[in-house]
């Protein structure tokens, strides 16, 4: 019985933080009962932009077994969740785990409490059978992932030669399959560079009757800037941006051919009339191995219902570029900035333009011939009787890159949830079948790792 608490790390509210502290304490208690050595690492306070401070929930560092003849596998998971409100279209209380037709509904069911519990269950199965664990196991569990893993990087850096020194492999289970029934292993994620472009005439807005016709209007400048970034076929118009993208090989194309994806079902479940591409291979490549640019919104523009004759005095456009190997965050920042400066200068506007990059996260890719990828494949064959889809993820999982860069250990992503789990959305769920088979998968993975190690 694991009550679903409002362990929301996104909204900076003391009540939610208290729930997060309670969650971490509960998880630490579960691990101690399994016989793990558990440390709850104090992460100090979080400074918020409005001047208030909130405590950061502790990070759990736990270890079970230290047999030098065995391999050591470290599992990363998080217990915090995205905001959820019954009034937003949830059919059940998001913070009470509710089973309907074999689906377990609740915020955090698939992202990421379900997979964390599945890993703990797999460990406790060996304990219940009084069997020795086939590998040494470590846990790093945090409570701030949805808020950008505040202060985690510093902790990993500090523990690099202590907690992580004996670790051979790192497992993350924080994403989904690409299908409803066929398991997958993830070996790559895209990065993300998030940009703000501000165009300013003055801080106050203008009346279009009094000023319309004699101003360089910031909104017109901004629309032109945003319109210069990407064409109607999804091709990014920033010069040089594709230069570092890894060339496509025949072998790589074959990996996309092997993946099961029903385009018709994918389109219908997405409620989209038509995608930019017509083949499975092209769709997957443009989600995983090519960059994309998305325009997200405009701050300062009039966006209420009704008619208001306003000329915004200062507007901020927001867009981001999903990066792929071997694109570099700082190179992309320079290319995007230079492009926007060129477009802006041609407008001869008297407004001021400022481009800034709010976030720069690198893409991540692993070697699928690493030991733990082979172990994960074998474990999937054992439990599901099928070959896994070898997939990449179009979104960003910064923690994978962080572990690879700082700890220099092989990272594998073993998702448990089905494509329709709806993480971050209303009515998030994990299927009972995925949860139970996923627990078996982790147990089989321990056994396979022991053999290969």
The tens digit of pLDDT for each residue in 327-383 reads 999 999 999 999 999 999 999 999 999 999 998 999 999 999 999 999 999 999 999
Residue positions annotated with a catalytic role = 80, 145
Extract the runs of DSSP E, i.e. beta strands, from 35-117: 37-41, 45-47, 53-55, 59-64, 72-78, 98-100, 103-105
User: Is residue 6 over pLDDT 90?
Assistant: no
Residue 424, marked binder: yes
**pLDDT tens string 404-439:** 999 999 999 999 999 999 898 999 999 999 999 999
For residue 440, the cross-strand partners are none
Topology given in CATH for the domain delimited by 191-245+290-361: Alpha-Beta Plaits (3.30.70)
CB 292 within 8 A of CB 191: no
| Inter-residue long-range contacts of 82-87, CB under 8 Å, 24+ positions, other chains counted | 82/8, 82/10, 82/107, 82/111, 82/146, 82/423, 82/424, 83/8, 83/10, 83/11, 84/6, 84/8, 84/426, 84/428
What's the pLDDT at 1? Answer: 46
pLDDT in tens, 269-327: 788 999 999 999 999 999 999 999 999 999 999 999 999 999 999 999 999 999 999 99
pLDDT tens-digit map of 227-241 = 999 999 999 999 999
User: What is 14-189+363-451's CATH superfamily?
Assistant: Zn peptidases (3.40.630.10)
**Alpha helices, DSSP H, located in 55-113:** none
Query: pLDDT tens, 85-115?
Result: 888 899 999 999 999 999 999 999 999 999 9
Cβ-in-10-Å burial (0-12, 13-18, 19+) of 153 comes to middle
pLDDT at 3 over 60: no
Averaged pLDDT, 15-24: 94
Residue 50's pLDDT is what?
87
Rounded CA gap, 139 and 326, in Å?
Answer: 30
d(C-alpha 388, C-alpha 254), whole Å: 15
Does 342 show up as a binding residue in the annotation?
A: no
Share of the chain above pLDDT 70, in %: 99
Q: Is 250 annotated as a binding residue?
A: no
| Domain boundary assignment for the chain | 14-189+363-451, 191-245+290-361
Residue 263: how many CA atoms within 13 Å on its side-chain side?
13
DSSP string spanning 136-200? Answer: EEEEEEES-GGGT-TTHHHHHHHHTTTTTTT--EEEE--SB-SSSSS-EEEEEE-EEEEEEEEEE
296 carries a ligand binding annotation: no
Does residue 78 have a known ligand-binding role?
yes
CA 453, CA 447: separation in Å to the nearest integer? Answer: 10
User: Chain-wide mean pLDDT for the chain?
Assistant: 95
Mean pLDDT of 385-412: 94
Given a cut of 90, whether residue 260 has pLDDT beyond it is no
Instruction: Output the six-digit token pair for 377.
Output: 């494949």
């Amino acid at each position: 019985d694991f009550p679903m608490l409002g362990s929301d790390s996104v909204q900076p509210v003391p009540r939610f933080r208290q729930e997060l502290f309670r969650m971490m304490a509960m998880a630490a208690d579960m691990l101690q009962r399994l016989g793990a050595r558990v440390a709850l690492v104090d992460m100090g306070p979080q400074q918020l932009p409005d001047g208030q401070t909130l405590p950061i929930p502790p990070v759990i560092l736990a270890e079970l077994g230290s047999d030098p003849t065995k391999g050591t596998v470290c599992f990363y998971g998080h217990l915090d969740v995205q905001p959820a409100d019954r009034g937003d279209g949830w059919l059940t209380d998001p913070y009470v785990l509710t089973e309907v037709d074999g689906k377990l509904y609740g915020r955090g069911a698939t992202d990421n409490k379900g997979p964390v519990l599945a890993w703990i269950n797999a460990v406790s199965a060996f304990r219940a059978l009084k069997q020795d664990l086939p590998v040494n196991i470590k846990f790093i569990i945090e409570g701030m992932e949805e808020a950008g893993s505040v202060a985690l990087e510093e902790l990993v850096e500090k523990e690099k030669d202590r907690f992580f020194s004996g670790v051979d492999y790192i497992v993350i289970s924080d994403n989904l399959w690409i299908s409803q029934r066929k398991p997958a292993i993830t070996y790559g994620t895209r990065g993300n560079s998030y940009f703000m472009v501000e165009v300013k005439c003055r801080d106050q807005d203008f009346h279009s009757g009094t000023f319309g016709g004699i101003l360089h209007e910031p909104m017109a400048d901004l629309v032109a800037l945003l319109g210069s970034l990407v064409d109607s076929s999804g091709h990014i118009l920033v010069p040089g941006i594709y230069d570092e993208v890894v060339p496509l090989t025949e072998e790589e194309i074959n990996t996309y051919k092997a993946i099961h994806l029903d385009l018709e079902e994918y389109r219908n479940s997405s409620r989209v009339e038509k995608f930019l591409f017509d083949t499975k291979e092209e769709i997957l490549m443009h989600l995983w191995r090519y960059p994309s640019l998305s325009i997200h919104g405009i701050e300062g523009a009039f966006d209420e219902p009704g008619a208001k004759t306003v000329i915004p005095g200062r507007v901020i456009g927001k867009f981001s570029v999903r990066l792929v190997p071997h694109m570099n965050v700082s190179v992309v920042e320079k290319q995007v900035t230079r492009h926007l400066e060129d477009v802006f200068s041609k407008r001869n506007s008297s407004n001021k333009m400022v481009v800034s990059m709010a976030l720069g996260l690198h893409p991540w890719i692993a070697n699928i011939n690493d030991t733990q990828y082979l172990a994960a494949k074998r474990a999937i064959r054992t439990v599901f009787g099928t070959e896994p889809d070898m997939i990449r993820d179009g979104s960003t999982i910064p923690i994978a890159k962080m572990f690879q860069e700082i700890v220099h250990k092989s990272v594998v992503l073993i998702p448990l949830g089905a494509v329709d789990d709806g993480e971050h959305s209303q009515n998030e769920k994990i299927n009972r079948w995925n949860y139970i088979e996923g627990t078996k998968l982790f147990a089989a993975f321990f056994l396979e790792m022991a053999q290969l190690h």
